[in-house]
């Protein structure tokens, strides 16, 4: 192992140092021998990384532009072309794309730009071929968007492993999420989204082993961070939003955000310290936890209500809903396992942010008692509804103060601002809930603004950024 790897040096700083060494040598600050020893100590800098990244991005966008351009040209002249010619024109881009993918596998296997570009082109060509042939012969494929999406995704996903490309994986995740939405709108088996999503897991794991915070790993992590919360709402719609216990939604989503946050907080053996945009799971999970907690601070969110529901407890006991309950229990189980693991490692800060599923479960139980215990008087029901509201108000209050104090200890202005934003949002929400006069609210907002600006100015001056 090189000295650089042993010391966990960040390649960003190594590249910066490599750029600075010639300047320091010319200024007489360092001798050439000292500069060479520093280079040897930190190891060689990969100067071609940016070039390869630029080539990969250009190849992807070039393939997208070519594929979309072909589709537009064919669509514009489609009505005046005979059926046999239509079939040839529909299949020709796919045949060309397949030939390019085959050539890439044989001759350019080590070239990431070629792999990503040709795989993206073939993915779009498959979609065009399915749509155009189906439209020509009036089959049921394109008329049913869910069938079209599913066919396209199943035919495209092998490229992820045959070529080792990530863009088809991103398209696949977006496609099966959209497919689940169309299927759910027709009361179909949208729960199949999850077995389909598991197809991407081996590729994601290989990317993590290769480079946990590389551009491809980060892009796929962002796609998962966006698609998974959407898919949970789609696939568990019946038991969460239409079931007799709507507050189950809070338990499931709080568990999901906890899983994203705690899983994204794992080091995964990375030698470099990632930036915020390279931690999408952690950022999405933390953001989701804070936003959901803020929503649960309002009394109206927990207020027991009775409304017409398409599903009853008897209907929800049917065998068709067993996969839904298994999925909800799996999300909660993974969240609890991560919480226990975090507690055993004594990571207090992460544990406090990830404890929200427990709080949501308590609130869900209280909410259920308020809805179904019809023998309770109305005032008792309101008091029960206030318990989870007060609980989440206190949770956000402690979270905001703790984040701000942590930023104060480490001198991190982003942490200080994040803590103050949480506190200000909480106070603003309570101002609108209370009977305070407009004058009192205005004065309070001015004081909060001065506090926010003064705190930032003090810490910026301490860091020497303002003289």
The continuous run of DSSP H or E covering 223 comes out as helix 215-235
Shared domain for 453 and 316, answered yes or no, is: no
Shared domain for 310 and 285, answered yes or no, is: yes
In this predicted model, what pLDDT tens digit does every residue of 277-295 receive, in sequence order?
888 888 899 999 999 998 8
**pLDDT at residue 467 tops 90:** no
In contact, 120 and 64? CB cutoff 8 Å: yes
Shared domain for 261 and 360, answered yes or no, is: yes
Q: How far is it, in rounded angstroms, from Cα 28 to Cα 19?
A: 16
Shared domain for 326 and 444, answered yes or no, is: no
Confirm whether 68 is domain-assigned. no
Shared domain for 397 and 271, answered yes or no, is: yes
**pLDDT at residue 193 tops 70:** yes
Shared domain for 267 and 351, answered yes or no, is: yes
Exposure string over 261-276, b if 16+ CB within 10 A, otherwise e: bbbbbbeeebbbebee
**pLDDT at residue 318 tops 70:** no
**pLDDT at residue 232 tops 60:** yes
Q: How far is it, in rounded angstroms, from Cα 393 to Cα 383?
A: 15
Q: Please, which pLDDT band fits residue 346 given cuts at 50, 70 and 90?
A: confident
Shared domain for 408 and 461, answered yes or no, is: no
Closest by Cα among 288, 283, 280 to 252: 288
Q: Which range, 52-56, 119-123, 312-316, is most confident?
A: 119-123
Q: What is the mean pLDDT of the chain?
A: 76
**pLDDT at residue 445 tops 90:** no
The two structure tokens encoding residue 397: 């209050």
In contact, 428 and 446? CB cutoff 8 Å: no
Shared domain for 255 and 392, answered yes or no, is: yes
Shared domain for 335 and 398, answered yes or no, is: yes
Closest by Cα among 405, 406, 371, 285 to 335: 285
Confirm whether 462 is domain-assigned. yes
Which conformational region is residue 346 in: left (phi greater than 0), alpha (psi within -120 to 50 degrees), or beta? left
User: pTM of the predicted model, to two decimals?
Assistant: 0.74
Which SS3 state, helix, strand or coil, does residue 269 take?
coil
Shared domain for 362 and 309, answered yes or no, is: yes
Q: How far is it, in rounded angstroms, from Cα 153 to Cα 142?
A: 14
How many domains are there within the chain?
3
Q: Please, which pLDDT band fits residue 177 given cuts at 50, 70 and 90?
A: very high
In this predicted model, what pLDDT tens digit does every residue of 3-19 receive, in sequence order?
444 343 455 556 666 66
> Could you give the percent of the chain with pLDDT greater than 70?
64
Least confident of 143-147, 177-181, 338-342, 452-456: 452-456
Higher-confidence residue of 191 and 387: namely 191
The two structure tokens encoding residue 82: 């005979």
Shared domain for 374 and 315, answered yes or no, is: yes
Confirm whether 299 is domain-assigned. yes
Half-sphere exposure of 242 (CA within 13 A, CB side): 15
Quote the strand ranges of 102-199, DSSP E. Answer: none
Q: How far is it, in rounded angstroms, from Cα 171 to Cα 179?
A: 12
Shared domain for 424 and 449, answered yes or no, is: no
* DSSP secondary structure letters along 284-341: HHHHHHHHHHHHTTSHHHH-------S--HHHHTSGGGHHHHHHHHHHHHHHHHHHHH
Confirm whether 461 is domain-assigned. yes
Confirm whether 349 is domain-assigned. yes
Confirm whether 344 is domain-assigned. yes
Phi, psi (rounded to 5 degrees) for 56: -65, -45
**pLDDT at residue 315 tops 60:** no
Confirm whether 76 is domain-assigned. no
Confirm whether 123 is domain-assigned. no
The domain in which residue 35 lies consists of 3-42
Residue 201: the pLDDT is 92
């Amino acid at each position: 192992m090189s000295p650089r790897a042993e010391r966990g040096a960040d390649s960003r700083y190594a590249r910066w140092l490599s750029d600075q060494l010639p300047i320091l040598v010319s200024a007489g600050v360092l001798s050439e021998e000292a500069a060479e020893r520093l280079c040897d100590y930190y190891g060689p800098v990969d100067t071609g990384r940016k070039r390869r990244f630029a080539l990969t991005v250009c190849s992807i966008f070039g393939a997208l532009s070519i594929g979309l351009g072909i589709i537009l040209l064919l669509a514009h002249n489609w009505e005046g072309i005979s059926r046999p010619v239509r079939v040839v024109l529909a299949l020709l881009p796919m045949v060309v794309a397949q030939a390019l993918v085959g050539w890439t596998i044989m001759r350019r296997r080590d070239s990431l730009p070629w792999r990503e570009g040709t795989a993206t082109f073939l993915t779009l060509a498959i979609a065009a071929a399915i749509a155009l042939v189906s439209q020509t012969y009036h089959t049921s494929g394109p008329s049913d968007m869910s069938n079209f999406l599913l066919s396209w995704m199943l035919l495209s996903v092998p490229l992820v492993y045959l070529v080792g490309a990530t863009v088809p994986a991103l398209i696949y995740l977006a496609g099966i999420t959209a497919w689940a939405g169309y299927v759910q709108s027709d009361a179909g088996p949208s729960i199949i989204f999850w077995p389909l999503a598991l197809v991407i897991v081996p590729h994601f794991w290989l990317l993590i082993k290769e480079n946990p915070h590389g551009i491809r790993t980060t892009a796929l992590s962002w796609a998962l961070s966006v698609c998974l919360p959407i898919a949970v709402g789609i696939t568990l719609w019946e038991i969460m939003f239409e079931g007799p216990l709507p507050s189950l939604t809070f338990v499931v989503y709080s568990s999901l955000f906890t899983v994203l946050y705690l899983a994204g907080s794992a080091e995964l053996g990375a030698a470099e310290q990632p930036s915020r945009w390279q931690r999408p799971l952690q950022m999405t999970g933390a953001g989701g936890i804070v936003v959901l907690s803020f929503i649960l601070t309002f009394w109206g969110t927990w207020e027991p209500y009775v409304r017409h529901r398409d599903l009853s407890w008897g209907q929800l006991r049917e065998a068709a809903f067993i996969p839904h309950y298994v999925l909800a229990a799996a999300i909660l189980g993974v969240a609890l396992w991560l919480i226990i693991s975090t507690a055993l490692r004594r990571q207090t800060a992460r544990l406090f942010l990830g404890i929200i599923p427990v709080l949501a479960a308590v609130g869900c139980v209280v909410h259920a008692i308020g809805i179904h215990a019809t023998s309770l008087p109305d005032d008792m029901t309101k008091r029960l509804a206030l318990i989870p509201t007060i609980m989440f108000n206190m949770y956000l209050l402690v979270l905001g103060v703790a984040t701000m104090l942590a930023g104060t200890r480490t001198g991190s202005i982003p942490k200080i601002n994040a803590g103050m934003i949480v506190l200000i949002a909480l106070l603003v929400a309570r101002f609108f809930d209370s009977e305070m006069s407009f004058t009192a609210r205005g004065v309070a907002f001015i004081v909060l603004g001065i506090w926010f600006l003064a705190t930032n100015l003090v810490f910026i001056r301490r860091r020497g950024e303002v003289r």
